[in-house]
Each structure stands twice: as structure tokens, then as C-alpha cells.
Amino acid sequence: MSEPDSGSDLASVRTRAAEVEDGWRLTGTKVWTSVAHIATAVVVLARTDDAGDRHAGLSQFIVDLPHPAVSIRPIITIDGAHHFNEVVFDDAVIPAGGLLGRRGDGWRQVTAELGNERSGPERILSTLPLLREWARPENLGDDPVAHAELGRLVSRLVALRRLSLSVAARLAGGESPAVAAALVKDLGTEFEGDVVDAVRRHVRPEPGGGGLAAMLAKAVLHVPAFTLRGGANEILRSIVAKDLSS
């Protein structure tokens, strides 16, 4: 979905899909595409029609990989890992059957998918291994402040899990709880960062090796991305505010 220079504005799609004989021709660039370098297919949001409403005229496509007209370039994160990619579609022709869903229905489909993604457990549990390791008696020690902080974090985690499950149930029931999903993602990613902050107040991060200090050092590198991936928290709060004001 994401494109260069677009930030969190998914409606500013510049990748285009033009209908050709027996298929579609895709032209454009996507960024932050997870594991595209090992994927056998990617789902692409592209503009198929010009309409007055920029949320209209969008469609989704499934593109099989590898493809001779699709280039995949690695985006290396601060920890040296290769998870994200830039994907360039250079007049990539795909069969007519590559259209996912209905033409022009891409925005509705994408927002439904984002509801599932934003409320999912991966937006809550990224730092759970760190929290569990810190909670081990030999790491937590007898510090009452640390015990109190751990208790507060665990209680938030339980509440967030229930929120995530409630959104999943509504999605399974055919609803589109975009606002609830935005709230879960906002609260969940703030929680993930708070776990790292809490542990840092009691443990010194040490890169390399193993154990709690090494886990903390790695988590510190990822904290800035927590509130960005899946939609920046500021954007999500605007979604919630718009709903409250309507």
C-alpha cells in the first residue's frame, strides 16, 4: 500500500494499473513491503480510474513473483536486518485474473484489511519476550518499584488483549470496526514502547551476547518504528477524533 513521499496518506496512490488486452499493466513504486524478497506473490493497491473522490477509483491486484518487470530492492533497518523492501513495477503486465475483488473497490477492501492488521496481536506483543524475560525472578529481583511497574504493564496487556479479541470478533461477524482497530493500535504500540522504557529504568542495555540486556538493546532500536508501522499514531487519532465529532 505505502508509496514514497506519501507518509501515512494511503489515498495518495500514484501506482497505476491500466487495462490491456487480457490483463493489466502496473507502473509505480511501493515501499516498506514486508518479505517481498522471499514472497511468491504481493498484493498491490493501484489506481485504475480517475474519479473526483480520491478514495474512489482504486483497485487491488495479486502479482505473482518473481516477475521480469518487478524489481525488489532491500531496505535495511537500523539493526542491520532485511525485512522491508522497495518494490518497483516497470510496466509489469499481469493476467486479468490478478484483479483482487472488484474494480474500484480497493479502498473499502484496504480499510477492512487495515482493521484486521491494526488490531492484531503483533501490535501488542512485539516486546512481550522482553517483558517475560524481565519478569523472571533472577532478573526482576526484590525491587518493589520494579514489581509495581511490572504489575501495571501486565494489567494493560490483559486489557489490550481483550480489546484485540473484541475487534477480531466484530471482523469475523462482518463488521468494519475501523475506529476500534485504530484505538487498539494506538494503545498497543504505546504499550510496546512503555515496556522498553520500564525495563531500561532497571537494566542497562548491552548489545551482543544473550540474556535480558541484549534483548533490551535490540528492542531499543525498534522502539521508534512501533508507533509508525501500520499507520502513524497521529493519523489513527485523527480517525478516532473524526468519528467522535460526527
Q: Which of 3, 19, 86, 113 is catalytic?
A: 113
CB atoms within 10 A of CB 50: 9
Closest C-alpha among 153, 66, 74, 61 to residue 104: 61
CA distance linking residue 18 with residue 22, whole number of Å: 11
Close Cβ partners of 16 (under 8 Å, ≥ 6 residues apart): 26, 27, 28, 46, 47, 48
Instruction: Give phi and psi for 15, each to the nearest 5.
Output: -65, 130
> What stretch of H or E contains 155?
helix 144-172
- 113 assigned to active site: yes
- Residues contacting residue 117 through CB under 8 Å, at least 6 positions apart: 123, 230
Return the active site residues: 113
